[in-house]
Structure 1
Amino acid sequence: MQYDWLHLGSLIVIAHVLGVIAACHAILNTRTSQGAIAWAVSLTAMPYFTLIPYLFLGRSKFEGYVDARRLENELLRTRAHPPVWDMNPASGGRATEEFGEAVVRSLTKLGGMPFLPGNSVRTLVNGDATFAAILDAIESAQHYVLVQFFIVRDDELGQMLKELLLAKAAQGVRIHFLYDSIGSFDLPHGYVSALLAGGVDIHPFATNRRFVNRFQLNFRNHRKIVVVDGLRAFVGGHNVGVEYLGGNPRLSPWRDTHIEMRGPIVQSVQFVFIEDWHWATQQLPHFDPPPAEPSADDMHCLVMATGPADKQETGSLFFVEAINAARERVWITTPYLVPDEAVFSALTLAVMRGVDVRILIPSRRDHYVVFEASKLYAYELIRAGVRIFRYRPGFLHQKVVLIDSVAAAIGSANLDNRSFRLNFEIMVLTIDRAFADEVEKMLERDFAEAFEVDRSEYRKAPALRRVTMHVARLFSPIL
């Protein structure tokens, strides 16, 4: 018995020593001070529970990866960007008139892409409308199809997509398919093999091209992109899985939003795919630009492609600048409410300016820790004057930002640190009063099916639940 206790004591000492070493590593390498503090405290106090998660989630710097990816993107944007960018026709146009010259300049510089006019965009509300439009567009493809999703499942929807892509490949259409290696970790090898055998060029997106880093779950490609012949592009919140059609009873009905774009902005979306494809394959596919199509709309759009290789904290700064630009209202819908200090401060200052700030979040959870942390952030935002609503019918997964009666942004980025700093994301910002009105009506329907949260959600929670919220928030830098 004495030998067993000695053995246990030695293991405890070793765990704490390793925890201290890992804490030092976190302080030196974690990208934000909040993240460094969270990891350092948890690793020294609870190494038995946090050492293994730190191996998978802790590093927000990955030696050589960020520099290599950044250099690659800079070269591509300098030498291989779409010709339409050189025209820069949006300079001094409606985007500047409606949104302000300073905001247009800052967002253009932040994202590294210009505002482009002459576009049309429509909302695709929920999975049936989204995948009906995407599958219809792929069915009409004549030259090429680009497909990129974070999650691809081998279920009924995944099979529909696979069979359609195989049919188009058999017709001579070039198919490029990119999926995230971690998000689609359970995608069977047979699914990929069947596409490869049928002429579909399919690859996983991984952190490192040279080897699979099994201890790195950060730096995921969370983008959802479909481009058809350079004429139509789709981005938004949906992945390929029946749960996005309401197939998961616990979370059904699933509430999500995609958009379909036509016009010059499609070239910017396509270029984001090309950047990711080049990283994954070291191939630079060439696509002839489609013939110019006259558009009845003159919507100005900007693609904001954010990721951990950016020089700046692009994801967070995009939200901060968009919120700071608001004079009347900021309405945000997000499945995960874990903002960083910069976004929290921007929301608070917007309230002080008299802006109507509302955030719509789910009332059902799909990730326990994130959900508990979001309750505490919701309470603090309510204290700051932000109105928080919870969507009743099912799980809310859409990522939408509405600014005044002028601008709307829709894409894949959540209001959390993972989207701000650890994932590759894409948002499309539109400057158009008619489209903003369409988005406003869509969100009004969502708010009508929600209830407003007050301070009692936190105050009346049992003491143990409040402790859980505070503990969950410690992990907010990696959620």
Structure 2
Amino acid sequence: MQFDWSQLGPLLAIIHLLGIAAACHAILNTRTSQGAIAWAVSLATMPYLTLIPYLFLGRSKFAGYADARRLRNATLRSRARAPEWDELLSTGEWPVEELGARVIQTMAQLGGMPIVPGNSVRTLVNGEATFSAIFEAIEQAHHYVVVQFFIVHADTLGEMLKDTLIQCVARGVRAFFLYDSIGCFDLPASYVNALRAGGVVVHPFSTRRHFVNRFQLNFRNHRKIVVVDGERAFVGGHNVGVEYLGAKPPLSPWRDTHIEVRGPAVANIQFAFTEDWYWVTQELPDCEPPPVAPCDDNMFCLVMPTGPADRQETCSLIFVEAINAARQRLWITTPYLVLDEAVFSALRLAVLRGVDVRIMIPGRRDHYVVFEASTLYAFDAIRAGIRIFRYQPGFLHQKVLLIDDVAAVVGSANLDNRSFRLNFEIMVLTVHRGFAAEVETMLLRDFEQAVEIDRTEYRDARAWRKMTMHLARLFAPIL
């Protein structure tokens, strides 16, 4: 059958019209001016190459989820005594002297949750400690378990998690399992079916409930949450796979950090899970957290769930506020360093006011484009006076921030645009000198195994490598 070339002109005209329409959509809806310009120019001039990528990657707002979130937040605020915030501040019952009333209030408003006292938090360094604690807690569950991960592999560790949850259900414990549909793209149906056959309630987190989100690869649920009986919660950087146990060269040994939280803050962590579950199922999970007695450690914890459904760029603003709060020291570890202008400006200002700003990044790469872009951002940071370290033994995946001697943030958010604007994340701010000292000790061990880099590494790089870095940085809005 011979192609009718007379149809080519109308087809090209239609593609260009669609490109112009998509460019207008990008201008109206893309959050940053840089992203809007990049999409608009490419869609208007090269629609043949960019229309399909824009369909999958172009949106920066997660339609529909925000309404569900606001609906459910009212319940949490009434339960968590948020209206008493100003009164408690004025009576000095909150850690206003440690971090500052303004910082705490701003972060609480950004995260949509109150800071609560009476908690106990401990670090879980690397995969063996993390999953040993998680499996132990699940095996001791009496009422319910909720589990949420971005990535779950059907390998040895994944099978252990599946068997542990099925055994829970067998002894009368309710189990709820939520996984990201894109992060777990290679999770076999047999794995999910086995969980369901064992009585575990399983759902994928997907964007497809609203048509405008149907084709999106963005808006991934990057949170890692485990809650047991409303008494213990686990949050951090680990997913479920043997690589997180350091059993997958060449990235091993894998360096990551989780935390175990006990106390009233567990209910707020579980609420973040409830938001996601409600989006997927339009039902609340049958696992209302019970009242929890305060712990003797009496740590103040602020749970901060963030995501593209937020009215503001919550994750980026939280990092900015945390950086601005530092007076003597700001130590950050992140696997990916793709800074937006607001966060980079805050880091530069911290250096200018005399803060010891250090950022630790991996010495090995797991994603080539992100690694090259991160390398260029690292050299920009060095020129601004920020000290950059590369972790040497294996791949560094932990997401930790230490503020002076008083506060630490641990969670799932990376220092990149994907966490700032495109992923659902969760972080926990702990205001407690004892816990800050524990995090300091942990990070000092990491810095001892890291190498500080300087400007010569970039200056001595070959021309093709410099070009690769600059090309990679062009993709920063979706990295």
TM bracket, shorter-chain basis: over 0.9
Cα gap change, 1:211 to 1:311, in 2 (>3 Å): closer
Q: Residues 128 and 212 from structure 1, CA distance in 2 versus in 1: closer, same or farther, beyond 3 angstroms?
A: farther
Q: Is the 8 A contact 2:151 2:239 kept in 1?
A: yes
2:306 aligned residue: 306
Q: Which residue of 2 is the match for residue 75 of structure 1?
A: 71
1:105 aligns with 2:101: no
Distance in 1 between the 2:214 and 2:35 partners?
Answer: 21
Q: Cα offset for 1:467?
A: 1.5
* Cα deviation code 1:411-460 (max 9, x no counterpart): 00000111011110000000000100010111111111111111122222
Q: Aligned residues, how many? A: 473
**Structure 1: distance between partners of 2:407 and 2:195:** 39
The Cα shift of 1:267 comes to 0.6
CA spacing shift, 1:130–1:171, aligned 2, 3 Å: same
* Corresponding position of 1:392: 392
Unaligned runs of 5+ in 1: none
Give the corresponding residue for 1:56: 56
Query: SS at the partner of 2:194?
Result: helix
Percent of aligned positions with the same letter in both sequences? 70
User: Any idea what SS the aligned residue of 1:127 has?
Assistant: helix
- 2:187 counterpart of 1:187: yes
Residue identity in the other structure for 1:245: L
Q: Is the 8 A contact 1:90 1:300 kept in 2?
A: no
Q: 1:291-440 counterparts in 2 under 5 A?
A: 291-440=291-440
Match of 2:261 in 1: 261
Q: Which amino acid aligns with 1:238?
A: H
Pair 1:119–1:363, CA change in 2 (3 A): same
Write the deviation string for residues 338-380 of structure 1: whole angstroms up to 9, x where unpaired. 0110000000000000000000001111111111111111111
Note the C-alpha offset of 1:97.
1.9
Amino acid at match of 2:429: L
Residues 1:366 and 1:52: Cα distance change in structure 2 (over 3 Å): farther
2:28 corresponding residue in structure 1: 28
Name the SS for the 1:219 alignment partner: coil
Show the counterpart of 1:219: 219
The alpha-carbon deviation at position 10 of structure 1 amounts to 10
**Shift in Å at residue 52 of structure 1?**
3.5
What's the CA shift for 1:185? 0.9
CA contact (8 A) 1:336 1:414 kept: yes
Distance 2:395 2:309 in 1: 31
Task: Verify the 8 A CA contact 2:236 2:410 in the aligned structure 1.
Answer: yes
State TM-score, norm by structure 1.
0.93
Whichever residue aligns with residue 454 of structure 1, its letter is D
Structure 1 position 475, deviation (Å): 1.1
Q: Helix, strand or coil for the counterpart of 2:81?
A: helix
Find the aligned partners of 1:247 and 1:55 in 2 and give their Cα distance: 37
Match of residue 472 from structure 1: 472
Cα distance, 1:41–1:200 mapped onto 2, change above 3 Å: same
Query: Which one is further off, 465-474 or 301-310?
Result: 465-474
Pairs within 5 Å for 1:233-248: 233-248=233-248
Letter in 2 for 1:83: R
Q: Tell me the CA shift for residue 109 of structure 1.
A: 1.2
Q: 1:286 to 1:363 in 2, by over 3 A?
A: same
The answer to whether the aligner puts 1:154 opposite 2:154 as a matched pair is yes
Q: Which moved more, 1:279-288 or 1:335-344?
A: 279-288
Change (3 A) 1:324 1:171: same
SS of 1:279 mapped into structure 2: helix
SS in 2 for 1:216: coil
CA separation in 1, counterparts of 2:104 and 2:422? Answer: 25
Residues 294 and 344 of structure 1, relative CA distance in 2, 3 Å threshold = closer
Alpha-carbon offset, residue 30 of structure 1: 1.5
Give me the whole-angstrom Cα distance separating, in 1, the residues matched to 2:57 and 2:407: 35
**Greater CA drift, 14-23 or 71-80:** 14-23
CA distance in 1 between partners of 2:262 and 2:34 (Å):
41
> 2:95 aligns to what SS in structure 1?
helix
The answer to whether the 8 A contact 2:208-2:215 is kept is no
1:191–1:422 distance in 2 versus 1, CA, 3 Å:
same
> Higher mean Cα deviation, 458-467 or 77-86?
77-86
Q: TM-score, normalising length from structure 2? A: 0.93
**Structure 1: distance between partners of 2:291 and 2:26:** 51
Q: Deviations over 1:209-232 (max 9, x none)?
A: 267966211111100000000010
CA contact (8 A) 1:38 1:474 kept: no
Tell me if the contact between 1:85 and 1:113 (Cα under 8 Å) persists in the aligned partners: no
> Which residue does 2:228 correspond to in 1?
228
Query: Which residue identity does 2:81 align to in structure 1?
Result: W
SS in 2 for 1:220: coil
- Return closer, same or farther for 1:390/1:47 CA change in 2, 3 Å cut-off: farther
TM-superposed CA distance for 1:466, in Å, is 1.2
SS in 2 for 1:122: strand
Aligned-partner Cα distance in 2 for 1:293–1:459 = 57
* Worse-superposed segment, 86-95 or 198-207: 86-95
- Structure 2: which amino acid aligns with 1:374? S
Indicate the residue corresponding to 1:114 in structure 2. Answer: 114
RMSD: 2.4
- Report the AA paired with residue 28 of structure 1: L
